[in-house]
Copies of this chain bind each other. A is one copy, B any other.
Amino acid sequence: MYIAALDTPALVADMDVLERNINGMATLCDQLGIPLRVHTKTHKVPEIAKLQIAAGSQGITCQKLGEAEVMVDAGIDNILIPYNIVGTPKLKRLTALIQRAKIIAALDSEETAKGISQQAHADKCTVPVVVELDTGSGRCGVQSPQKAQNLARQIVKMPGIDFQGVMTYPSNIGAKSFIEETLDLLSSDGIPVNIISGGGTGAEAASKELGCTETRSGSYVYEGMTRIGNSEMLAPERCVLRVIVTVVSTPTPERIIIDGGMKTFTSYPPSPYGHIIEHPDAKIYGMSVEHGHVDVSKCSHRFKVGEQLSVIPLHQGMTSNLHNELIGIRGNTVETIWQIAGRGRVK
């Protein structure tokens, strides 16, 4: 099938660019000598995770337990969940999942550790965990090396839970003293550290320098404004995703309306929302829920109702999360259709 025959709005991935991005990161981590554990939050597609593993990733990272379940269902067997798993329903799901795959969970409190310990002990299994360090994210994570040490000391006394090391986000050189001091304290306690997990696309060299045992990179797989930083630099040769849309109205000479709005692109980030490949001078200046409002006053092209356009969305992960399927294209042809199986798995 040709792209031109697609019903729209359709989320498509350029397979050539996807393969180039996956191989490029694999080569970079290989050259740096830092093992890669890809983060699948951006795509949520098991088939893409498998391409990344085939290219050398030693496992994957899933932000939520529900995404990890989808990946295990698809046959992936080595997953880090860098998220506090809290509450009986999730703890039961965690101990069920751990029978089927190697799962490592991150945590930052004694309450989370106790919950995991008690459920795992009851279910006769052991959950490997890493302690999250807040090295600048201002989100989760223990706030000091001493607190990391205190938490590790608690964990090693608990049944059903196995202290494996630490994780940090973000990985930058400012994290060096926090990590080193934590390792020294753990070493002085005789608590072994097997994992030092660093993270974030672009932090691969820093992860190596910090002494990490792995680096978690995610958004590199698609590339977009969240990585490239400037919508002017978005280009089809480096960005994988496009939303194919149709012009549904040409109400004035300056304005056209496309059939994708906030429910197709997300409302984040703001204008220009996306980059129209065929007509870079056409600017998406606003979106309502199901309409995209495009200023074409700077275009010499005369747009017609029914015309298809290819838009590189600005936020790759948020846009992917709105769609049920991803259509893999090569050139002008549809090559494959993948379910975005991890979409909406917020639990």
Contacts and interface: CB of A to CB of B under 8 A. Distances in A.
29 contacts: A7-B87, A7-B347, A8-B347, A83-B248, A83-B290, A84-B248, A84-B305, A86-B247, A86-B259, A109-B250, A111-B305, A111-B306, A138-B293, A139-B249, A139-B288, A139-B291, A140-B248, A141-B249, A260-B346, A262-B268, A262-B318, A263-B321, A263-B346, A264-B346, A266-B268, A267-B267, A267-B268, A267-B318, A323-B346
Contacts of A88: 5
CB-CB nearest 6 A-B residue pairs? A267-B268, A7-B89, A111-B305, A84-B248, A140-B249, A63-B290
Interface residues of A, number: 62
Contacts of A198: none
Interface string A72-90: 0000000000011011111
Instruction: Indicate how many identical chains form the complex.
Output: 2
Contacts of A139: 249, 251, 257, 288, 291, 293
Nearest to A84: B248
A323 B293 CA distance: 26
Contacts of A86: 246-248, 259, 305-306
A14 interface: no
Contacts of A344: 263, 322-324
A150 interface: no
A143 interface: yes
Given A83-B248, A87-B306, A90-B7, A140 B322 contact: no
A108 B289 contact: no
B41 A248 contact: no
